[in-house]
Structure 1
Amino acid sequence: MTDRLGDRLVTAREEGFVGRRRETAAFRALLAAGRGAVVYVHGPGGIGKTTLLHHFAQLARRAGRPAVRLEAAGVRSYEEELTERIPDRPDLVLLIDGLDDPRVARDTVHRELLPRLPADALVALAGRTAPPLSWRLDPAWQGLLRLLPLGPLDEADSRELLTRRGVPPAVQDQGLAFTRGHPLALALVADVAAHGGEAAGADPSPQIVRALLASLLEAVPTPLHRTALEASSQVLSTTEPLLAALLQVADARPYFDWLCGLSAVESGLRGVHPHDLVRDALDAELRWRDPERRAALHRRASAYYQRLFTQEDDRARQRAVLADFAYLHRDSPVVGPLLEPVARGAAGAARLDRLSVSPGPVSGGELVEACTIAAIHEGIEAARLVHDWSRRPEAETYTVRGPDGVAAGFYTLIELGGAPPADAPDAPDDPAVRAARGWLAEHGELRGGETALLVRFWMSRDEYQAVSPVQTLITLRLTHHYLTDHKPAVTLLPFADPEFWEPGCAYVDFARLPAADFTAAGRRFGMFVHDWRRVPALAWLAMLTERERAEDPFAVTPPAASDPLRVLDREEFAEAVRDALRGLVRADGLRDSPLLRTRLVAGRCAAGEAGPKERAAALREAVRAAAAALEASPQDRRAFRALHHTYLRPAGTQARAAELLRLPMTTYRRHLTAGVARLTELLWQEELEGGGPGAGEGDRPGGPPEVSRPE
């Protein structure tokens, strides 16, 4: 008998079939059972649904059962198909591909076709999305329906597919890195290689990207929907408010709902995100098609994260936002490799989400686990120091726990002043603390109430201080400590391998500080420092945003005010507050205030751009905000009223103010004195904490070194 072309195509298709062992075994078992069942294969475009249905058809024919394949898009009427093409046989195997319209699956196939098939027929359906919920909840289908979600091929099967397609082993790694096991992407890479092109490089060819997107994505209704899809590829995860910021629209719900309905988009705890291959393809296309729009989306995302971080009190959300912010830096040649667990997108985020940090400083068994990890990597003396510091109020140890509940790492923070506290003779004799205190005493210039935060220990149980999910989570959590919980004047951060980490530290404006290096257990640790008074929190985040999109990140210098900030001691600050109150309501009453060049005001101004009027307005805002806090406090309300009628809305004279308050003059003055003192206390606290885009103080003699470009 003469072979037909169709037979040769079937044979070639079967010879090229790779993987899907679990799905194949499930279908074979159903064939052998001989009972009726409905198999529903679902997954994004190009994942291999059609190929798998062809394979199922061959398995059915080998088992001696008649197999009928239909394309849903080509069926005009299932009534006609039942009459003309679908035999009324108990051993029927029916395969229907392309059920991407849920209405067709629900109304036509579920209600009209399936009930009319023989009771023992085996049916395989394939579509981009899972079957409607009504199918899964219907008791009549509980014993019949089998769901087979398809995902990417594993590495071994991916290599096998490329090998069968003739891709040389020497160039397979690049193809695997880009395709992430997606069958269509692997086939496209093999096709390019077969025609003499580069199988895959650091950036896949536009031809491969366009072909992938055409298969992976359903129809896009409008250009703004397309922008929504592109925007989702640029961020770690997308929420509705973030999407509104990225699209610059007031209401993003229609676009977010559309994203949620795409088969190429997944939902997670953080929001929605494209499948990794879709993300890579969208990003690759946007890079060469519209790099300016890509940069604009990054700017909008960064601005949104900064607003969320500074305007919300939700600590958990703030910590999650730091991972999103770090993801924007995934392409940086400097810090991208150090952020590998985050840069891996949804898979990396899922690994981070499986880790947790203790809600507070640990003790008991958790502390023992931290000491054990310290002993493994830094010796018994380090374990003793972790234990001894746990007894001190200025120190805190936190553990990182894996999904099994076992400690996977830890870090220890120590708050330091310029000199050892007089009441702490029993503090541990720690070489790191000695070195840090020595530098702080000579160069730190800590004022009363200001502290430095020393990250005394930080390590992963398995990787020590190498790049890892545990190390990344510790880095993100430390950043949260710097910016919200502790708000130190200075952060000191030691590394066992300072040369490896120096470029990354320079990128985030942590300067190398050899003067505070120390030796412990025969190992030399290199210290790095960041002065939050020179570059406060918001200025620091703004600097990182600029560096993320700069061709040369080190050409972006930390923001600095046009004039150095003034560092007032507590008494000078209090006198300046009293002077500011006296000039508060006059148009030029704050023109010469020493407070205009303090962190209090700089933290409320745009980075380096505030003139005298803007600074005066910021000072007035700070005073009124502190006064509002007094008004809201029941125990401070009488003091606030005295302030209000004397300085905020002055009655004219103190005698008139006392009369309005119906107080004797002595009582009025006592309330006023208390009000000024409490207002000064609140403003002083804000001065010590600082934080704002304009805070910078120039070069202070003996201060922390400037961060220089690593060689």
Structure 2
Amino acid sequence: MHKSMHDHLLERLRRGPAHRLMDSVAALMYMYRTDGYMPEVHEWQAPGLVQEVPYAPSDQADVLALVARAEGLESAEIARKWLELQPTAFRLHRSTRTGRTVSFTATLWLSGDEEETSSSFDPVLAAVWRYARRHGPVREGERIAVTRYLVHPDRYHRPSAPMTLAHWRAMGEVWRDADRLSHHIAVYRDDGYWNGHMIHYATPPVADPVRVGAHAYRLFAGDYRTEPLVAYLAANTDAMLAGGAPRGSVQSATGGTNAGTGPAVLTREAFGAAVRDALRSLGSPKELRCNPLVRSRVAAAHDGDLARLVRGAAERLPNERGGERRHHFSFCVEWWSRVSGVGAAWSA
């Protein structure tokens, strides 16, 4: 029965009217609510909190302000060029309470003709084309989809209502056009947060990070040539119904192998980012379950209870030389994250 319902919803997503796309994606994603990965990053009530609208020229200032705030001025200048080249790729999210634009997303569609132009102004697209050349150039009739921007400054690249709509939009557009797609590439901040989730969904990280301004980003690439959409979703459904086993493992950027449930191997920079995220998320078990530290060996030694592990480490700091200041700072971070989280929820 589950598979019959799944097939019906997938067909509705791929063949139904475009104006029903987001409803169709939401219904299909709900079928994966017990797979151990999808519920952790989705806000099922998202459509009641934010509304998706197409980009209009009058929205340019809002888009550029959002990306400058979240990613910096260099990234904003790149976004300005993409607004000129592919304005229909951009979708905005407005608060249903205030009407304010709080986030936006953009999935670019590329046939190969854009390589020279896009590589000249966007380091991320230059990396996309390097990846494409290594894995076979785009053939006639094929396209690459690049989810280039997922920008919600209040909860940047973290689960939220706007991010849920951004993911639904990207998945919906990609899956509707999957038969003509060679790859789908998503771009996230390079801090390890999305690694386990994306690996589980057969979109592993590309080895080399890309720097834009002050920030490093990681490409996550799904290959639709080697694993067509219908076969991929069938395998994922079978894994979920069998107990949610991970799809497999990939070679990590650090040279080790990271399985969806295996020990996480983090760079020093990624480890620091994960610790800061854990401090900010101590009041949110849902976010902590997505933290890459959950799959670390030290967390495994504490039964995977990351909150207890982090609090215990902070509470031991006063016993170390100069540790009182670090202990105070750690719990200031936790307190502020709770206060600002409430503010972010109201602002949306």
Shorter-normalised TM range: 0.5 to 0.7
CA distance in 2, matches of 1:356, 1:458: 15
Question: What is the letter of the counterpart of residue 544 of structure 1?
Answer: N
Question: What is the letter of the counterpart of residue 136 of structure 2?
Answer: G
Report if aligned partners of 1:513, 1:528 keep a CA contact under 8 Å in 2.
Answer: yes
Report if aligned partners of 2:35, 2:243 keep a CA contact under 8 Å in 1.
Answer: no
Q: 1:522 to 1:477 in 2, by over 3 A?
A: same
Q: Does residue 334 of the first structure (1) align with residue 37 of the second (2)? A: yes
Q: 1:364 to 1:427 in 2, by over 3 A?
A: farther
- SS at 2:171's partner residue? helix
Partner of 2:11: 307
Larger radius of gyration: 1
Q: 1:448 to 1:455 in 2, by over 3 A?
A: same
Alignment map for 1:528-607 (pairs within 5 Å):
528-554=220-246
Partner of 2:171: 479
- SS at 1:414's partner residue? strand
Report if aligned partners of 2:112, 2:138 keep a CA contact under 8 Å in 1.
Answer: yes
CA apart distance, 1:447: 1.0
Alignment map for 1:137-286 (pairs within 5 Å):
none
Q: Decide which of 395, 399, 406 is 2:100's aligned counterpart.
A: 406
CA apart distance, 1:707: 9.5
CA apart distance, 1:417: 4.1
Q: 1:428 to 1:435 in 2, by over 3 A?
A: same
Q: 1:389 to 1:303 in 2, by over 3 A?
A: closer
What TM-score, normalized by structure 2, do the two folds share?
A: 0.65
Question: What is the letter of the counterpart of residue 401 of structure 1?
Answer: R
Larger RCO, structures 1/2 (Cα 8 Å, 6+ apart): 2
Report if aligned partners of 1:397, 1:410 keep a CA contact under 8 Å in 2.
Answer: yes
CA distance in 1, matches of 2:258, 2:146: 19
Report if aligned partners of 1:419, 1:441 keep a CA contact under 8 Å in 2.
Answer: no
Report if aligned partners of 2:36, 2:244 keep a CA contact under 8 Å in 1.
Answer: no
- Structure 2 residues not aligned, in runs of 5+: 250-256, 263-348
Q: Decide which of 162, 169, 185 is 1:492's aligned counterpart.
A: 185
Report if aligned partners of 1:416, 1:452 keep a CA contact under 8 Å in 2.
Answer: yes
CA apart distance, 1:494: 1.4
Q: Does residue 445 of the first structure (1) align with residue 149 of the second (2)? A: no
- SS at 1:489's partner residue? strand
Report if aligned partners of 1:451, 1:489 keep a CA contact under 8 Å in 2.
Answer: yes
Question: What is the letter of the counterpart of residue 314 of structure 1?
Answer: P
Equivalenced residues, count: 253
- SS at 1:307's partner residue? helix
Report if aligned partners of 2:107, 2:170 keep a CA contact under 8 Å in 1.
Answer: no
CA apart distance, 1:551: 1.7
Q: 1:537 to 1:707 in 2, by over 3 A?
A: farther
CA apart distance, 1:552: 4.1
Partner of 1:320: 23
CA apart distance, 1:555: 5.4
- Structure 1 residues not aligned, in runs of 5+: 1-295, 343-347, 558-705
Q: 1:367 to 1:543 in 2, by over 3 A?
A: farther
Report if aligned partners of 1:396, 1:414 keep a CA contact under 8 Å in 2.
Answer: yes
Question: What is the letter of the counterpart of residue 496 of structure 1?
Answer: R
CA distance in 1, matches of 2:104, 2:36: 28
Report if aligned partners of 1:400, 1:407 keep a CA contact under 8 Å in 2.
Answer: yes
Partner of 1:416: 110
CA distance in 2, matches of 1:335, 1:322: 13
Report if aligned partners of 2:103, 2:153 keep a CA contact under 8 Å in 1.
Answer: yes
- SS at 1:494's partner residue? strand
Question: What is the letter of the counterpart of residue 390 of structure 1?
Answer: L
CA distance in 2, matches of 1:552, 1:485: 27
- Identity of counterpart residues, as a percentage? 17
Q: Decide which of 454, 459, 465 is 2:146's aligned counterpart.
A: 454
Question: What is the letter of the counterpart of residue 414 of structure 1?
Answer: L
CA distance in 1, matches of 2:11, 2:146: 28
Question: What is the letter of the counterpart of residue 174 of structure 2?
Answer: Y
- SS at 2:84's partner residue? coil
CA distance in 2, matches of 1:444, 1:452: 12
CA apart distance, 1:446: 1.6
Q: 1:302 to 1:485 in 2, by over 3 A?
A: closer
Report if aligned partners of 1:389, 1:395 keep a CA contact under 8 Å in 2.
Answer: no
Partner of 1:370: 63
CA distance in 2, matches of 1:555, 1:416: 28
Deviations 1:175-199 (A, max 9, x none): xxxxxxxxxxxxxxxxxxxxxxxxx
CA apart distance, 1:335: 3.0
Report if aligned partners of 2:186, 2:221 keep a CA contact under 8 Å in 1.
Answer: yes
What TM-score, normalized by structure 1, do the two folds share?
A: 0.33
Report if aligned partners of 1:494, 1:526 keep a CA contact under 8 Å in 2.
Answer: yes
Alignment map for 1:700-711 (pairs within 5 Å):
709=260, 711=262
Partner of 1:356: 51
Pairwise CA RMSD: 2.8
Q: 1:452 to 1:314 in 2, by over 3 A?
A: same
Partner of 1:676: none
Q: Which has the higher strand share?
A: 2
CA distance in 1, matches of 2:224, 2:99: 35
CA distance in 1, matches of 2:144, 2:11: 26
CA distance in 2, matches of 1:395, 1:439: 25
- SS at 1:319's partner residue? helix
Q: Does residue 507 of the first structure (1) align with residue 200 of the second (2)? A: yes
CA distance in 1, matches of 2:94, 2:162: 9
Partner of 2:84: 391
Q: 1:488 to 1:555 in 2, by over 3 A?
A: closer
Report if aligned partners of 2:35, 2:244 keep a CA contact under 8 Å in 1.
Answer: no
CA apart distance, 1:416: 3.2
CA distance in 2, matches of 1:443, 1:547: 27
Deviations 1:436-461 (A, max 9, x none): 11221232332123221221111224
CA distance in 2, matches of 1:506, 1:368: 35
CA distance in 2, matches of 1:399, 1:408: 8
CA distance in 2, matches of 1:552, 1:493: 23
Report if aligned partners of 1:389, 1:427 keep a CA contact under 8 Å in 2.
Answer: no
Q: Does residue 470 of the first structure (1) align with residue 162 of the second (2)? A: yes
Q: Decide which of 217, 220, 243 is 1:525's aligned counterpart.
A: 217
CA apart distance, 1:477: 0.6
- SS at 2:89's partner residue? strand
Q: Does residue 433 of the first structure (1) align with residue 136 of the second (2)? A: no
- SS at 2:151's partner residue? strand
CA apart distance, 1:415: 2.9
